[in-house]
Structure formats: structure tokens, C-alpha cells
Structure 1
Amino acid sequence: MNILILHRIPYQKINYHLGIDHDRHNVTYIGTAKQFANLPEGLRCARLERPGLKDTASEVLAILSDLKLHFDRVISLSEYELLDAAKVREALGVPGASIDEVMAVRDKLIMKHRAAAVGLRVPQALPLAEFLAQGGAPWPGRTVIKPVDGASSEDVQVFDDPASLAGALESRQAGIPRLDQDLHANAERFEVETFITGPLLHLDGLVHNGKVVALVGSRYIGTCLDYAKGQPLGSVQFKLDAAQEQWVQRAIDAISLRSGSFHLEVIDDNGSGDWVFLEIANRVGGADVVDTFEMATGIYLPAQELAILCGEQPDLPGSLRKTTFFGWFLFPGHHLPDGFVELDGHQSFCKSSELLRHSVLPRDTPLPRNITYQAFEVPFSGVVGAESTTALQAWMEALFAAVTLHPRLQEEVREVPA
């Protein structure tokens, strides 16, 4: 089989060789010179370098048109290039998720509309252009504005009510650079929705022929929006009951997701058990979701996703749930001033039995300037495990309350044990 991979995610985050036999298949990676830097030297594959100056799909198609190559599969595991891969497949007549199918896992308005159509509860929402045209929204209270295809809570803001949002947009003080600079030119890429209070959950799994074949439920400690603003974030796994598993399958059916990994976010309305569909992505979750999923189930999601996308049967263990529950945490640094960081309050936690591994940013490594969920890029991260969700959550909440981050200049040299 001839397989084309749009290479964007660092190789070590996917380990393509675990899901695709590079000796049996002819695998071609296409990406920029920077993206190729992390491809293993001895990997049997072809490499096509693209400039990285235009959108991925147009560059890929331009290169392929000159080379007259044939491919049986076109694969991307990056959320940001799923649509590009669909466009390339359509142009080349290659099987796989279509543009319409990808839009259902990229456009938050489309996915909510489809979820609502099968009876799942969703937040009230409308396109920003419609919000502007009608001068508000038909709901009271806290209101969220976000990109329809965004990730990592970038360009997401919460306002007290629709009127406050409308005023901020009109005065160009919404706190979203694209909208504050040119509201009407960028409005079509944003949506507005009502804010629903309650614990935020993420459901991660694997779909084969439209059926969920592996699933793990987790509860966020903190929120992705607060993480974007500088607060720590974590999650702990919990046991799903049969009704909750059926709810997830209904969501998958609503989106018509046929294959691959998924990361589904749900709001538990005021902790009542009444789930509200928030959004879904056809990819693995960020941070240490892949590792903690494997710890709980024995399944390495990227490898099994690649096998499915190549038309093969996933290799799944008979029993998917172990007795220990796992979780992860991240302390961000993008919100701090340029420079370096001093970490304090973490020392005793690093000696606890719950902490399975951790990473502390080296003292001579500058803080990240962008929002990142990469464990090795943030000031402090870790993976934890315990016999109950309650124990994990209590441990993590205590950690978040104890640890402090202090900006420092490079010349400061106070040794703090990791």
C-alpha cells in the first residue's frame, strides 16, 4: 500500500512505526523542513518537502501534480490538517473521511447542531455574524465567544451577558486580536454560546466502523480556559456506567464519525449528571491523555488509529479497564514575563506514591511563549495514579493549592531540588 502522511505532529508523539509497518508499506511523509527535523534517521520512507508558505492542501497537491504519484491512503493525525487531508483525498480520489465529514469534527456549530438533532443537550449557540445582525442573543447570563474551529481555548472569552459581549465587540475591546482589529472581516470564524456551569469532562476513545471500541472517561481539574489564562490544569479518570457509554455512542453516531480516535468534551450541568455536549475532535487528546489511556487500557491510541485508517483491524486487549485510575497535570508558563521560572511547593509531592513520573523545566530553558500542552515544554507536569478517582482528585487539588511559580532573570542562581 502507498501511504501519504501529512507530517505536522512531532514524530515521537505518534510513533508512526507502531501503527504502520514501514517495511511492508511504501510510506511518504510530506512536510516542511522544520517538521522533518524529528523524523527518525533510519526510518524506511520517502520525504517530500513543502515550502510552508501557503495552506497545506494546495502545497501538497502542487507537489504531487508534478510527481505523478499514486496513493492508497492520505493520513493526517493533526487537528489542524484534517481538512487539508480531506481536500487532498478528494482531489486524488483516495478513500477516507470526506470534507463534509471532517467539517463535522472541526466546526463547533455544525457538531452542536448534529448532536441536538438526535436529542443530545447542547449549549444554545449561534454564529457571531448572526449575533451581530440581531444585536444580541436569546439567552440571559454568562456568554462565551470562541472560534468555530479553534483549540486550546485560544481566542476564547467569557462575558457576563450578551449585552456585555456586544459592547466589547463594538468598542473593539473583546480581548480577541482578530476581532478587535477587524470585527466584520473575521466574524464568520467565530460563534457565541451560553455558558453552562458544571464539571468539564473529556471522553477519549477509538472508533472502528462507526462503533466505539475503546473508551475512557476523565474529569478535568481546572478548565482549559483557565489554563489559557495561566492556571494549572489536570484530569483524573473515572468509571463510566452503561448509560454514559451509550451517551458517547449516540454522540459518535450524531457526528457520523466512522474511524479513528476521538476527544469528546462534555459539561456535567451543575454536577447533576445531566450531560451537555460541548465539542468533539477526531484526534487523540492533548497533554498526557495518550499515555494515561494506555495505562488504563493497554491501548496505544495513535498506533490503533493508524491501523484503522489503513483498513486494518485494531489490535485490542480483551479487558480494557484496569483497577488503577490515572491522571495528568500541567502548570503553564506562557502567561509569565519573558525569561525563566522558579518553582516552589512541589518538593513533597514529588516524593508521593501517587506521582508516577514528572517533569520540571530545566532552569536554563526559557518559558514557552505560546499555549502548549506538551509536558516537556511547561514548568511542571506529571502523571499520577491511585486506586480511586476521589483520591486522585484530592491529591491534585492539594498540589494546585501548594505549588507556586515565580518569574526570574537568567542570572539568578538559587538551587531548588526537583
Structure 2
Amino acid sequence: MTRIVILNRADPRRIRYDQVIDHQRHDVTYIGQFLNQKSPANATIFPARLADLDADALPAHIEEACANCDYLVARGERDLLLAARIRERFNIPGDSVARVLPIRDKLTMRMAAHQSSLKQPAFWALAKYKRISASLPPDQKLVLKPRLDAASNGIWIGPRAGLDARIESLDERDWLVEEFVPGDIFHLDGLLSGGELTLLQASKYVNTCFSFASGSALGSTQVDNPEWASLAVTDIARALGYRDGGFHLEMIVDRDGQPFFLEFAGRIGGAYIAEAFELKTGVNLHHGDLHCILGDVAKVDNGRGRADMFGWFLFPYGAEIDYGSVGQVFRHEFVQCHINASPAKPDVPSYSEIHSPFGGIVRGLESCEGAIDSIVRYVTTKSNSLANIS
């Protein structure tokens, strides 16, 4: 009987581990959050706040489970390094810290990306930036990023003069600075198996992850895969040493139509990316990712294409909106509409519907951008109108 430990941070009902892992044949232990929902039969459940776990000082029951497992599965962005450290401590097969850092640490990622053919923004470790900042124009737009955070948490964008005033108290080891490249942001999602691209779907963001972290709605619409997309995925994945599993690659296309590498994540994208992907291709990205991670690549479905494009949108926790009649007004556009009257407050910006008051998936013949814009404008305008009346 294979012993599998899963570090879980998302709602497991969206991933449905039990549809990939036979819980009758395998000994499965779940460690993490949102496990008070209906869990698979015959599984062991250990609720825990994953951010509080230290790989070198685990609670006794969690340490025992990890020390005796054959597979340790962790597909959340913030849990990849924790899992890698636990694997190294107990000699569990799978990704090591050295293999995770290029897809997790943004500075390591930028340095490794030099081995690809992709253009990327100029960047500096914070210590180096301090040495060269005076050579940059005071009004040059720059991006300050934490090396190990996610979901645009902690990012600041502004002129060099404003940045220089912010960085004196920061730990130089934890931050990097990048040139700001204006343009449209795309995300490429799919699966890699043995370094070969199995599935790919491109989407264009509506609004930005940075603005979502600041309180605005975020969305994206699927588009036809650009000519450069396949090469971008395989080239950057090769440079970062990522060969198997789901991926989420973000690119900026500047005003001249040139693509620039932004970030690569060796896991499934958040929000409703996986659901929209399945509507388009027929493939459940979470399940394909798990098959790759567990070595069952023969079970990965190559999918089928649909002519329609699908898009999604999500409001962050704390957003003030009036979604009362939106389902009726936009009923022809909606594929799914999720209203959460009591979202859970996240510790950090989160794309989970557990933490969102309102989100959904829409369908369009060519693009969903217009529908997403209209829905977001409708619910925010109504909210503003009610606020003015009160």
C-alpha cells in the first residue's frame, strides 16, 4: 500500500484528489486547511495552518506521517518549498529545494531565465540596485518585489525616486527590483510531461494581479494561442529545470508586440483558471497535474478543443459590491456564478472563491473581455449608487 501525504491549502472539493488517487488502495493523509468539508473516505485528516509549519520542527503526528510516506504532494505556491524541505529531511522522492527555487524564488528565476531565448525586464537584487540606482532617471518606473511571496502580495510599482525612499529598512536578501514594462499581460496554462508540452491555452488578463491585491476585481479571457506561446513555455521550463506537471506562465506583450517573460509557476493557476481550461479543452488541469506528479503520465488526457472562449472574474475579500440582480441581467453570458455572502478572511491576497464575495465564469464567441468589463462595472456602479444614497 502506497503512503501518500498531501499538503492542502485550497478547497479540496475543487481539486477532487479522490478522482485521481484510489483511497481504497493507498494510505492517504491530508495535512492543511479547509479539510472540515466532506473528505474522502478512509483518509487521515490533520488540520494545520501550513504557514506555521517548520520542516525541521513538525508536530509529532505530522512528522510521523511525513517520515513514513512514499509521496509528498504539495501544489500550492506557498507550500512548494516547505514540501521540498520535508522531502530532503526524510529522503522522500520528489522535488528538492534546489529544483523548487528556480520556480519559486523570483531572483533565482530571473537569473535562470537568462538561459532561455526570452526577453525579460532588467532586474537587480536589492543590494545591487542600491549601488546603481543613482544612474537611473528619477522618474523611471520600477517594480519592487518580494522574492518568495505570491499573488502580487507586497509588490510596489512607481518611480525610482519613490522606490528609493521605501527600501532603506528592507532586508536586502528578501527583495528584488525590476524594470516596469508596460503592455498587456497574458497567462499560459497547461501541462508538461518529460519536458514535452502536452496541453496549452493562452489567456489575457482583464485588470492585473497587482490591482487585485489592492482591492480591484481581476479576470482573464481565453484567446487563440499566439505564435510565440509554445516556444515560450518549453524554453523557459527548460531553463528553470521544470519538466513534469501543470504550469502557469505569465508574459507581458509590449506596445510593439514583443513578448517579455514575467513569471513562471510550476503549479496550476488560481481563481477559475482550471475550470475555464476544462470548459475549453475537456481536461481537468488539477487531475492532469496530479497524474504527472505521481508518475501516471499515460493517464493524462490530450483533450479536445471548443470554438467558444471562456473567461472568469473574481472580486477580492472586502470588496464592496452589489451583486443582487447580476445573475439575471447577465444570464446569457454566465456559465457559472458564485456568490459568497460570508467569505473567509485570508491571511494574504487569495484567488480562492472561499475568500471572494463574488466571481464567475462566462462564455464568448471570440473574447470574454467585454462581458467581464460589463459585469464588473455593473456590480460596482450599483454599489456606488447605494453608497451615495445612504
Same-fold status (TM-score > 0.5): yes
Q: What is the distance in 2 between the residues matched to 1:92 and 1:216?
A: 37
Counterpart in the other structure of 2:157 = 158
Does the 8 Å CA contact 1:19/1:302 hold for their aligned counterparts? no
Letter in 2 for 1:268: V
Q: Deviations over 1:74-94 (max 9, x none)?
A: 111111111111111122222
User: Are 1:398 and 2:374 matched, yes or no?
Assistant: yes
1:29 alignment partner, SS class: strand
Map of 1:215 onto structure 2? 200
CA RMSD across the alignment? 2.9
Instruction: Assess if the C-alpha contact under 8 Å between 2:50 and 2:79 holds in 1.
Output: no
How many Å separate the matches in 1 of 2:66 and 2:286? 29
Offset of residue 156 of structure 1? 1.0
Residue in 2 that maps onto 1:261: 246
Report deviation, 1:165. Answer: 0.9
Find the counterpart in structure 2 of residue 179 from structure 1. Answer: none
1:131 shift after superposition: 2.0
Letter aligned with residue 400 of structure 1 = V
Distance 1:396 1:2, change over 3 A: same
Q: Quick check: 224-233 or 239-248, which moved more?
A: 239-248
- Partners of 1:2 and 1:313 lie apart in 2 by 19
Shift of the 126–399 alpha-carbon distance from structure 1 to 2, 3 Å rule, reads: same
Report what 1:275 is aligned to. Answer: 259
Q: CA deviation at 1:268?
A: 0.6
Q: Contact 1:56 / 1:81 at 8 angstroms: preserved in 2?
A: no
SS at match of 1:144: strand
- Contact in 2 for aligned 1:205/1:215 (Cα 8 Å): yes
Structure 1 residues 395 and 113, CA gap change in structure 2 (3 angstroms): same
Give the aligned residue type for 2:81: L
Paired residues of 1:328 and 1:383 also in contact (CA < 8 A): yes
- The equivalent of 2:55 in structure 1 is 57
Unmatched 5+ stretches in structure 1? 171-182
1:378 aligned residue: 356
Corresponding position: 1:249 with 2:234: yes
Partners of 1:64 and 1:130 in 2: CA distance: 41
2:185 aligns to what?
A: 200
Amino acid in structure 1 at the alignment position of 2:143: V
For residue 204 of structure 2, give the secondary structure of its aligned residue in structure 1: strand
Q: Structure 1 residue 289 and structure 2 residue 266: aligned?
A: no
| TM-score, normalised relative to structure 2 | 0.88
Q: Distance in 2 between matches of 1:73 and 1:224?
A: 32
Using structure 1 for the length normalisation, give the TM-score.
0.83
Which AA in structure 1 matches 2:175?
F
Q: What is the distance in 2 between the residues matched to 1:155 and 1:381?
A: 24
Instruction: Tell me which of 64, 74, 77 is aligned to 1:76.
Output: 74
C-alpha distance after superposition, 1:262-313 (max 9, x if no partner): 111110112x331100001111111101100111111111112112211112
Contact 1:305/1:314, CA 8 A, preserved across alignment: no
Tell me the secondary structure at the aligned position of residue 381 of structure 1: strand
CA deviation after TM superposition for structure 1 residue 334, in Å: 2.6
User: Per the alignment, do residues 65 and 291 of structure 1 end up closer, same or farther by CA in structure 2, a change over 3 Å counting?
Assistant: closer
Are residues 385 and 69 of structure 1, via their aligned partners in 2, closer, same or farther at CA, if it must alter by over 3 Å? same
Using a 3 Å threshold, how does the CA distance of structure 1 residues 67 and 154 change in structure 2: closer, same or farther?
A: closer
| SS of corresponding position for 1:254 | helix
Q: Is the 8 A contact 1:9 1:77 kept in 2?
A: no
1:364-399 CA-to-partner distances (Å, cap 9, x unmatched) read: x3784763322354232110112212xx22222233
Q: Secondary structure at the match of 2:238?
A: helix
Query: 1:60 and 1:17, CA in 2 relative to 1: closer, same or farther beyond 3 A?
Result: farther
Cα deviations across residues 303-356 of structure 1 (Å, max 9, x unaligned)?
1211221111253445432211101012334355xxxx54478366423x2211
Does the Cα contact within 8 Å between 1:263 and 1:285 map onto a contact in 2?
yes
State the distance in 2 between where 1:387 and 1:190 align.
42
Residue 142 (structure 1) aligns with: 141
Secondary structure in 2 matching 1:396: helix
Equivalent residues of 1:83, 1:103 under 8 A apart: yes
Cα distance per residue 1:23-71 (max 9 Å; x no partner): 122222234xx5432351x522234566868434234485566579532
SS at match of 1:57: coil
Question: SS in structure 2 opposite 1:58?
Answer: coil
Alpha carbons of 1:59 and 1:250: their partners in 2 closer, same or farther (altered >3 Å)? same
Aligned counterparts of 1:332 and 1:69: Cα–Cα separation in 2? 37
Identity of aligned residues (%): 29
Q: Would the alpha carbon gap of residues 21 and 143 (structure 1) be closer, same or farther in structure 2, given more than 3 Å must change?
A: same
Question: Distance in 1 between the 2:356 and 2:49 partners?
Answer: 29
Instruction: Find out whether 1:299 has 2:283 as its counterpart.
Output: yes
Mapped partners of 2:31, 2:353: distance in 1: 26
Relative to structure 1, is the Cα distance of residues 52 and 200 closer, same or farther in structure 2, using a 3 angstrom cutoff? closer
Q: Per-residue displacement from partner, 1:246-275 (whole Å, max 9, x unpaired)?
A: 2221111111102111111110112x3311
- Asked if residue 328 in structure 1 is aligned to residue 312 in structure 2, the reply is yes
| Aligned-residue offset at 1:403 | 2.9
Q: Quickly say closer, same or farther: Cα 1:231–1:53, change in 2 above 3 A.
A: closer
* Equivalent runs, 1:99-110 vs 2, <5 Å: 99-110=97-108
Unaligned regions of 5+ residues in structure 2, if any? none
